[in-house]
């Protein structure tokens, strides 16, 4: 199987706010739930981990000559919301980015358990993210991919399509 075989079936979401993203993802989860094992979810939006709550948003222009403190609050994990809606049948791939290689795989493995129950986690280190990843699977195996950016995405997708086909054949 190859990425080009599936390009016409790929849904890419573009969004401006965390709430816009969440609403679209929730709706898409409900709309595709009936497809069961015929769907692969790639949940990559780590930028959605934090937000500035509405109550803390300035009501007026912030003076440019004064210091400003911003408190970011954690947001609900979209991957857990999606899994709660779609159930266990669809294949779910999550991503884990870290700066410390000593904790990367340990933290990636957490996403394989409840409530996320990912079928694969693409784990990478911030300063190597374009040319080195490790895909971690629930059976305690992993696949290391070293490549240039142009081909690393294709290799990730090809590996996850294989995971999807194995899972779908068991359903």
The tens-digit pLDDT sequence of the chain (171 residues) is 455 666 677 777 788 888 888 899 999 999 999 999 999 998 876 667 888 888 888 888 888 998 888 889 998 888 999 999 999 999 999 999 999 999 999 999 999 999 889 999 999 999 998 889 999 999 999 999 998 766 888 888 889 999 999 998 886
Residue 136, judged by CB atoms within 10 A of its CB (0-12, 13-18, 19+), counts as buried
- The CA-based dihedral angle spanning residues 19, 10, 90, 15, taken in that order and rounded to the nearest 10 degrees: -10
Q: What is the 3-state secondary structure (H, E, C) of 80-138?
A: HHHHHHHCCCCEEEEEEEECCCCCHHHHHHHCCCCCCCCCEEEEEEHHHCCCEEEEECC
What's the pTM value of the predicted model, to 2 decimals?
Answer: 0.84
Sign of CA dihedral 96, 100, 104, 110: negative
Closest CA to 128 of 157, 164, 100: 100
Closest CA to 40 of 98, 90, 75, 78: 90
The count of structural domains within the chain is 1
Angle at 50 between CA 71 and CA 105, to 5 degrees: 125
Tokens of 24: 């679209």
From residue 43, give the alpha-carbon distance in Å to each of 29, 57, 60, 91: 12, 27, 35, 11
| DSSP code at position 16 | S
Query: Which CATH number belongs to the domain containing residue 83 in this structure?
Result: 3.40.50.10300
Domain that holds residue 64: 3-170
């Amino acid at each position: 199987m190859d990425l080009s075989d599936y390009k016409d079936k790929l849904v890419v979401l573009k969004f401006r706010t965390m709430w816009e993203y969440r609403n679209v993802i929730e709706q898409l989860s409900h709309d595709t739930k009936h497809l069961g094992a015929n769907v692969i979810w790639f949940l990559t939006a780590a930028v959605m981990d934090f937000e500035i709550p509405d109550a803390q948003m300035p009501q007026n222009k912030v003076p440019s000559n004064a210091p400003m403190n911003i408190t970011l609050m954690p947001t609900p994990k979209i991957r857990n919301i999606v899994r709660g809606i779609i159930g266990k049948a669809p294949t779910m791939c999550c991503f884990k980015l870290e700066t410390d290689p000593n904790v990367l795989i340990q933290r990636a493995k957490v996403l394989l358990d409840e409530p996320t129950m990912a079928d694969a986690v693409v784990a990478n280190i911030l300063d190597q993210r374009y040319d080195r990843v490790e895909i971690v699977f629930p059976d305690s195996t992993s696949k290391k991919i070293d490549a240039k950016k142009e081909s690393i995405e294709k290799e990730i997708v090809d590996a996850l399509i294989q995971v999807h086909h194995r899972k779908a054949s068991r359903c």
